[in-house]
Amino acid sequence: MFKFIRPEQITEYIKDGDTVAINAFLALANPDKLQDAMAESFIKTGHPNNLELFTPSGCGCWDPDRIIDRCAGLGMIKRVVAGHYGSMPKISELVKKGEIEAYNIPLGILCQTLRSAGSGGPFILSKIGLDLFVDPRKGGPAMNEISKRELVHYVNVLGQEFLCYEIPKIDVALIKGTSVDPEGNIVFDNEFLSVNAINTAQAAKANGGKVIVQVDFATDKFSRPRNVVIPGVLVDAVLVADGELDDIYKDDFIAMSGAVHVPPSHMDYWMGRLEASTSKKKGKADVSRWVIGDRGAQELERGQIINLGVGIPEQVGRCAAERGMLADLTMTVESGGLGGLPAPGLAFGAVIGADFICDTVQQFDFYHGGGLDICFMGGLEVDKDGNVNAHVLNGKYFGIGGFADITQSTRKICFCLNFTAGGLSTEWTDGAIGEDGKKGPGKLTILQEGREPKFRESIESISFSATNAVRNGQEVIYITERCVFRLTPEGLELVEVTPGIDKQTQVLDLLPFPVKDGTC
Active site residues: 334
Do residues 378 and 309 lie in contact, with contact meaning Cβ atoms separated by under 8 Å? Answer: yes
DSSP symbols for 308-322: E-SSTTHHHHHHHHH
Query: Beta 237-240 vs 3-4: how paired, if at all?
Result: parallel
For residue 248, the tally of other CB atoms under 10 A from its CB is 18
Do residues 53 and 77 lie in contact, with contact meaning Cβ atoms separated by under 8 Å? Answer: yes
Q: Report helix, strand and coil shares of the chain as percent, to nearest 5.
A: 25, 25, 45
Through-space distance between the first and last CA atoms of the chain, rounded to whole angstroms: 73
Do residues 163 and 129 lie in contact, with contact meaning Cβ atoms separated by under 8 Å? Answer: yes
In angstroms, rounded to a whole number, what is the distance separating the alpha carbons of residues 359 and 130?
25
Half-sphere exposure of 327 (CA within 13 A, CB side): 6
For residue 225, the tally of other CB atoms under 10 A from its CB is 8
Compute the residue count for the chain.
520
- The values of phi and psi at residue 88, to 5°, are -120, 70
Q: Closest Cα to residue 204, out of 320, 303, 114? A: 114
208 contact partners, CB below 8 Å, separation of at least 6: none
DSSP 438: P
**In 156-302, where does DSSP find H-type helix?**
197-206, 253-257, 267-278, 288-297
Q: Closest Cα to residue 494, out of 516, 514, 478, 472? A: 516
Segment (H or E) for 392: strand 392-393
Q: Closest Cα to residue 48, out of 20, 82, 67? A: 20
In angstroms, rounded to a whole number, what is the distance separating the alpha carbons of residues 101 and 94?
9
Residue type at 495 in one-letter notation: V
Determine the 3-state secondary structure of 86 from DSSP.
coil
For residue 495, the tally of other CB atoms under 10 A from its CB is 17
Alpha-carbon 7 to chain mean position: 30
Do residues 409 and 466 lie in contact, with contact meaning Cβ atoms separated by under 8 Å? Answer: no
